[in-house]
Amino acid sequence: MTQNFCMRKISDIEEKDLWPDPYYTKYLRTGENPGERMQAAFKEVFLNAYEKVLIIWSYYADATSQIIERTFHLLNDRQLIIGPSGGVFHLRVMAAYHLSFFEDKSWSSSSVLDDTIRQTETASLSYELLPELNDINTAKQLK
């Protein structure tokens, strides 16, 4: 089953926005840091019986539909897909919910990617790293 979910801050949920119903199901974003927010999002979607879940940050303009399609294809043979970006990641995809991937990390630090890879290898889970993308935080960086 395929469904698009959009986790948004309460102030961002609008009737008419870039993520129209019925193609996107919107949820209020919860959590104090990126790890808590991802954990809540993955948990919510997996509890609704979905088998593959992708989280992508909206400020990665280079994340094309081809990258997303390739990512879902890779997930047929891997348990975790990570899209790196300057020591963190722009995209994360899981085939099952693993609570431990969201705990004991320095979120938004340059070590979070290495910590995640180390944790994945320690758990003997298969993973794939996608090509690194640029983090876009300002209009100037988009050019």
Per-residue pLDDT band at 1 (split at 50, 70, 90): very low
* φ/ψ of residue 115, rounded to 5: -60, -40
Report the CATH number at residue 102: 3.90.550.10
- Tokens for 87, please give them: 């020591």
Number of domains composing the chain? 1
For residue 127, pLDDT over 90 is answered with yes
Question: CA-CA distance, 96 to 58, in Å (whole number)?
Answer: 23
28-56 per-position pLDDT tens digit: 778 888 888 888 888 888 888 888 888 77
pLDDT at res. 7: 56
| Parent domain of 137 | 4-142
Of 111, 113, 110, 112, nearest to 129 (Cα)? 113
47-100 per-position pLDDT tens digit: 888 888 887 765 556 677 788 888 888 989 999 888 887 766 766 778 788 878
Q: For the whole model, what pTM was predicted?
A: 0.72
* φ/ψ of residue 140, rounded to 5: -65, -40
- Tokens for 118, please give them: 């180390």
Q: Say how far residue 106 (Cα) sits from the centre of its chain.
A: 17
> Which segments of the chain are extended strands (E)?
4-8, 24-28, 53-56, 80-85, 88-94, 127-129
